[in-house]
Structure 1
Amino acid sequence: MWHTCIHMRPNGPGWRLVMTNRVSEAVDRLFRVATSGEASTLAGLMEAAARDRKRPITVVQSNKNLPIGVFGQWVQHPDRDEVSCADWVHARERTLAHELGHILLGHRGRPAREFAEEFLPAAAHGLAKIMLRRECSDGHDAEEIEAEAFASRLLGRVNSNQASRNPGVRARLDEAIR
């Protein structure tokens, strides 16, 4: 299944709170199942997620042409998940954390382009690709917002874990807590 944006409109005033709780719970769960060594890097956390789900997650550099504005992609195979990142992306870890968020938050994506290409003549595949492209930048796509919040919270915790291992930072943190 090819992950694309699914446009869901947030419903009601409590939507953000529900989203925040789901994101927090997913990040907290990932840190609970990770070993201390795994919890210090995104790669380690991806290994922990794969082990917890009993389903491998493979990270690959994308050589294929992703649609304009698409930084990364999650592909569900029958036996594994594959996360790719466009080779030009500067914030690679952010993109991978975002895709991991889609996986752990149970997002499904839609295989619309593949479905269309299966039924359309080859000459129409390019047009179908353009027509089925979804904009993720409108700020209203609930799954994209959730995945971004997940990436932000996850990388914030990883970075704070790394900072707390620095003896100087650790001493200042200990001093501030006293």
Structure 2
Amino acid sequence: MSELLAHARGDEAASVLGLVPTIERMRRRPLVVTRDVDLGPGVFALWRKYPDWDEIHYAPWVADLDRAIGHEFGHILMGHEGRSVHDTARRTLPSEWHGMARMMLRECGQGSCSDERVRRLEMEAEAFGSELCRRIWGAGIARSARIRSLLNEAL
């Protein structure tokens, strides 16, 4: 968190979305944040990792966009690998297709991770997003991203 805010330039750390260029510089790859009307029920935001860039998609009905985007930033910056293909299929496909998806994934050699691991990763990302929002909102009076970062560490 402190490293992210310390790398921010100008007014980038004045908002969560303003940190996109900071993350792009830190990771040396593009990051696109886009509104996505096709996200499934209960999905606030979603990180998609491609070979040469990353995308964060967010639902138009999200009540706290900063928190949802901050959560996805947490996954990215903490090196999370994302959800298994098995879990994604189970969450997105109609229930009558689950058996077929399970069989196809088994044939393709795809395993699944334990629920405890997924819960831990989600808790870490949520803590990151919450802390990021707190730091940005709580230190809005400081003009410099570096000063804001130091002030927040002190708080």
- TM-score by structure 2 length? 0.70
Higher RCO (CA 8 Å, separation ≥ 6 residues):
1
SS in 2 for 1:84: strand
Larger Rg: 1
Of 67, 91, 96, which residue of structure 1 is paired with 2:69? 96
Letter in 2 for 1:102: H
Change (3 A) 1:151 1:115: closer
The percentage of counterpart residues that share the same residue type is 35
Q: For the Cα contact (< 8 Å) 2:39–2:58, is it kept in 1? A: no
SS in 1 for 2:139: helix
Aligned residues: 127
Aligned equivalent of 2:108: none
Aligned equivalent of 1:74: 47
Change (3 A) 1:113 1:61: farther
Of 132, 136, 149, which residue of structure 2 is paired with 1:154? 132
Unpaired runs of at least 5, structure 2:
103-114, 144-155
Q: For the Cα contact (< 8 Å) 2:14–2:136, is it kept in 1? A: yes
Instruction: Give how far 1:110 is off.
Output: 2.8
1:53 paired to 2:27 = yes
Letter in 1 for 2:129: A
Unpaired runs of at least 5, structure 1:
1-26, 118-124, 166-178
| Whole-Å separation in 1 of the counterparts to 2:16 and 2:86 | 30
Of 22, 37, 48, which residue of structure 1 is paired with 2:11? 37
| Whole-Å separation in 1 of the counterparts to 2:89 and 2:42 | 21
The alignment yields a C-alpha RMSD, in angstroms, of 3.0
Letter in 1 for 2:55: E
Q: For the Cα contact (< 8 Å) 1:113–1:129, is it kept in 2? A: no
SS in 2 for 1:144: helix
